[in-house]
Amino acid sequence: MKKKPWQRHGSSDSGPAERKDRPRHQGNADEPDSISHDWVFGLHAVEAVLKHNADSVQQLLVLQGRSDQRLLPLIERATRLNISIREVDRATLDEQVGGVNQGVAALCPNLKLERSEGFLEQLLQGLSHPALLLVLDGVTDPHNLGACLRTAEAAGVDAVIVPKDKSALMTPTVRKVACGAAESVPFIAVTNLARTLKMLQDNRIWIMGAAGEAEQSIYATDLKGPLALVLGSEGKGMRRLTREHCDHVFSIPMAGEVSSLNVSVSAGVCLFEAVRQRK
């Protein structure tokens, strides 16, 4: 009988050795503790959590009959890490995790990706280069937040900062859309955004905000030093108090009739203009 991919042994792929002392979760996939907010789903998101936070993974669910070349490396990595793997049908997988799961999901009940203000201060002290931070004020759509995280990771951002209130926070959907960036870019949720911006200024970081009505273009703005780029929601932009804490505001030139860009697109424009100037 042909073995399943996770039943094969002696893989030549170099990677972390199997941890034989790791307890294997033997519960049923329908257990009450397998609730939706504990799941990381999607190929890139599961790959990232296995790479960066494998200790948090309790179980891997894979779609019955799927063992293609995109999924097989995840199964082999989970096998080496002695993580329980279960085949389930499409209905069970969709019921457990929801969303577009791409046939794989990881149960991570202890995964904590949101960092605190204290972590941010430690991060700033340890940087050996001018800081590049992305601050999102009032971005409530998890798809937009996930896309911003993905863009931030690609641009080499040191951390993404959001307020705890009136903002999207880390969810399975955010992780899925971020395509693995949620596990590699520090995500910091702060109690008081204005206070955090003041702390950044005290650490000699310039606060630059994007505002559609600003007269100066981003392309005429110096983005080379220690920098926190602040973007608000699409409709309302930055909140008043957030804008008051900006050292400077700029706009993205718009040639068409559309009045504003999607926040994740704006993040890409702003971050990669900063990257261009820094190089």
Alpha-carbon distances, residue 58 vs 18, 84, 181, 264 (angstroms)? 14, 7, 21, 32
Tell whether 15 and 72 lie within a shared domain: yes
What pLDDT shows up at residue 15? Answer: 38
Tell whether 148 and 29 lie within a shared domain: no
What pLDDT shows up at residue 202? Answer: 95
Name the 3-class secondary structure at 189.
strand
- Return the H-helix or E-strand segment holding 193: helix 193-202
What pLDDT shows up at residue 35? Answer: 39
Question: Residue 178 belongs to what domain range?
Answer: 114-278
- The answer to whether 239 and 278 are in contact (CB under 8 A) is no
Tokens matching residue 195: 């206070």
Name the 3-class secondary structure at 23.
coil
CA distance 99 to 42: 9
- The answer to whether 182 and 44 are in contact (CB under 8 A) is no
What pLDDT shows up at residue 171? Answer: 83
Tell whether 119 and 80 lie within a shared domain: no
Domain end among 72, 92, 107: 107
Tell whether 141 and 45 lie within a shared domain: no
Per-residue pLDDT of the chain (279 residues; tens, 9 = 90+): 455 545 443 333 333 333 444 433 333 333 333 334 578 888 888 888 888 888 888 899 999 887 778 888 888 999 999 999 999 988 888 888 876 788 898 888 767 778 888 899 999 999 999 999 999 999 999 999 999 999 999 999 999 999 999 899 988 888 888 888 888 899 999 999 999 999 999 999 999 999 988 999 999 999 999 999 999 987 788 999 999 999 999 999 988 767 678 999 999 999 999 999 998
Tell whether 119 and 234 lie within a shared domain: yes
Residue at 179: amino acid letter: C
Query: How many domains does the chain fold into?
Result: 2
